[in-house]
Amino acid sequence: MITIDSLTKKYGRTTVVDDVSFVARPGRVTGFLGPNGAGKSTTMRMVVGLTKPTSGSSTVTGRPFAELPNPGREIGVMLDASAQHAGRTGREILTIVQQMLGLPGRRVEEMLDLVSLTPAEADRRVGNYSLGMRQRLGIATALIGNPGILMLDEPANGLDPAGIRWMRDLLRDFADRGGTVLLSSHLLREVEVIADDIVMIGHGRVVCEGAKSDLVRSLGTVARADDLAALRRALHAADIATTVSDEGGVATSAEPGLVGHVAFAAGVALTELRTTEGGLEDMFLELTADTQREVTHPQKKLRRERTAA
């Protein structure tokens, strides 16, 4: 289990991570999401002591990372697959880790086989690896100590579709066998498929946290009525905030059942009542809208040059 308690990191007057708290639990995959610059990587670096927090704390299996007697056997970490010695071979890198952790030599071959690096690839210098091969080597390095916890930053980066499926199955199996997985990724569809829990941050602060099933289900409700104004008055009287949806209905974060009960009690006949369509991507874009570089409005659309006929 990874416990993060009020972690904060400031560089001068800039706060990169702002009072972040959450728990990544055994037997579950926790998706750690946020836009570029939201503070995900800095949070992970603080957990393993690579970045000193300004305040707050974190523990791995109940102890600070620095107090773990043999950290590689407790937590497997991959924060930057490209940060590997380019002049060494993949086999050499794994052998060094195997010896540092006091593991039997057979673990090197076991890991190479697990991540599908061939003997020829294992004996190639890492500087000649593709990004996908570096990712596989990074996963092998994280798993070689047979840890109970994995903390991975963008592990599917550079993998082809088959590799992404392999990664997903590997992490799902790890969690199903009781392991803890903390996973940061920009591939929201993959996170939606594999994650049990979601922690989302923006501007360094947690904006959303909980079980994925609860969070995605709570995207909201759209209702329609012949008397739309009466419906909105009834919902507002019940302390339910509303907006007018793009399709001309009433949108709210309340559950459909509650909206239906309020409308019935007010004598408002509904002509439509449904949950908001969407998934993790919609929730991500909605909750982190003020942190996005991309803004969708007419003046930001790409203008097509007209050519003479």
Please report the domains of the chain, with CATH numbers, ordered by start residue: 2-210 (3.40.50.300), 220-277 (3.30.70)
> How many CA atoms lie within 13 Å of 119's alpha carbon, on the beta-carbon side?
0
Left (φ > 0), alpha (ψ -120 to 50) or beta: where does 27 sit?
Answer: left
Quote the pTM value.
0.75
Distance CA 45, CA 42 (A): 5
Task: State the pairing for strand pair 29-33/197-202.
Answer: parallel
Beta-ladder partners of 221:
252, 275
Distance CA 187, CA 197 (A): 15
> Six-digit token pair at 299?
């003046």
> The dihedral of CA 115, 119, 125, 130: what is its sign?
negative
Q: What is the pLDDT along the chain (309 residues), one digit of tens a residue?
A: 999 999 999 999 999 999 999 999 999 999 999 888 889 999 999 999 999 999 999 999 999 999 999 999 999 999 887 778 889 999 999 999 999 999 999 999 999 999 999 999 999 999 999 988 999 999 999 999 999 999 999 888 888 888 888 989 999 999 999 999 999 987 787 788 889 999 999 889 998 898 887 777 656 788 899 999 999 999 999 998 888 766 678 888 788 889 999 999 999 999 998 876 556 776 777 667 666 555 544 444 445 444 444
Distance CA 88, CA 146 (A): 23
Beta-ladder partners of 211:
197
**What does the pLDDT read at residue 298?**
45
**What does the pLDDT read at residue 289?**
67
**What does the pLDDT read at residue 208?**
86
**What does the pLDDT read at residue 294?**
54
> DSSP secondary structure string, 44-106?
HHHHTTSS--SEEEEEETTB-GGG-SSGGGTEEEES-TT-S-TTSBHHHHHHHHHHHTT--TH
**What does the pLDDT read at residue 307?**
47
